[in-house]
A = this chain, B = another copy of it.
Amino acid sequence: MRAGPSQEEIRRQNLGALLRYVHVHGATSRATLTTALGLNRSTIGALTTDLVNAGLVSEETPKETRRAGRPSLVVRPESARVYAWAFSIEVDRLRIARIGLGGVVLDRRALERPRGLMAAETAPMLAGELKRMQQEVLPGTICIGAGIAVCGMVRRDDGMVRLGPHTGWVDEPIVDALATELGTGTTPTVGNVADVCAFAEYTRGAAAGCNNVIYLYGDVGVGAGIIAGGRRLTGHGGYGGEVGHMVVNRDGVRCACGSRGCWESEIGEYALLRAAGRPEAHGREAVLAVFDAADRGDARAQAAVRQIGDWLGFGVGNLVNIFNPEMVIFGGTMRDLYLAAAAQIRSRLNSIGLSACLEHVRLRTPKLGDDAALIGAAELAFERLLADPLDAA
């Protein structure tokens, strides 16, 4: 229903489009930008000058060129100079990274997270580590903000973590806690880890160029980040993608959410360890040990991997029918499960998926690996810059 934009809005839109292009694609010639953005050369020149003056990009003459004539200047994102802080709050660890414009990981650290740590104790740990990392940041750089990936349901309006069944978080105000610790004017943007990973893989990973994507993230629980029609599916309050709480087994075990037979109760950490006869174990290392054992021929571990793999394929089949995605990406421990049980997963998926929905769907592992959560958290912060480059910088 909105009417067309004003001249000022168009300029902002064009600046954002140019900066986004080099942020996603890296160094790009003015000639390519002219074609890609559908703008004329003088407009590209003027926009680039503005972005150079703001310190967001640099221009240089390409070193070599095979063509005759004056070579087109190359526009490069200032990755070492312009950066965002990225935090990932996971069940068993905390991670912090400094990510440069263009998605370059400039620095990254990890801390163990004792299970049970709340937002009020998490924020000082993150802020303390950030301050140590800051000592290595050169003067003259531009921090454009911070993003947080968190295992849990995040309210879109204010970033409140409503429920993290496996972190024990209920209504934990991580944004406020961290903003207070950091003491800066910038409020971090927070997102669910699966949403954030999906966004990263869509922007610059395995799903680049795909407009309909499901990114499954598993650790203790399971969630999905969903890209539908080229946009992040958030739902009304921000809680969309809780596919781990799709009930698949009415007779299944009790789930942490209070329901019974949820998908994550059939494919999450506890299900795998229980099926492998290791109900006392927990954590990512214990999960990986089951895959190792299966790989070495342990029959019980192999049966567990097949059983859980079958349930993974079951839920993926449902999601393929519901969303008709062109790609499903298996992240976190779902990556290991997918690699160990691809045949079961495919077979069950094929038995449930409608043939039209199966035609184009590709199953993939993440291209960004474990960095997806950090890169995606930084992308949340970069979004503000890309929406209005000169105002945000």
Contact = CB atoms under 8 A, between A and B. Distances in A.
Contacts of A325: 235-236
Contact of A323 (B20, B235, B247): B235
Contacts of A2: 17, 37-38
Nearest to A153: B356
A323 B9 contact: no
A228 interface: yes
B228 A233 contact: yes
Contact of A356 (B1, B14, B155, B355): B155
Interface stretch (A61-69, A237-245, A364-372): A237-245
B318 A247 contact: yes
Given A4-B14, A246-B322, A314-B247, A359 B212 contact: no
Number of copies: 2
Given A1-B17, A351-B259, A321 B359 contact: no
A39 B3 contact: yes
Nearest to A249: B250
Give the interface size class of chain A: 35 or more
Nearest to A263: B318
A354 B153 contact: yes
Interface centre among A18, A234, A354 (most CB of B within 10 A): A354
A326 B211 CA distance: 24
Interface string A323-365: 1111000000000000000000000000110111101110000
30 contacts: A1-B17, A3-B13, A3-B17, A3-B18, A3-B37, A3-B38, A3-B39, A4-B5, A4-B14, A4-B17, A5-B10, A163-B354, A212-B235, A228-B231, A228-B233, A228-B240, A231-B231, A233-B323, A235-B325, A237-B360, A238-B324, A239-B324, A245-B321, A246-B246, A247-B318, A248-B248, A250-B314, A257-B354, A259-B351, A319-B322
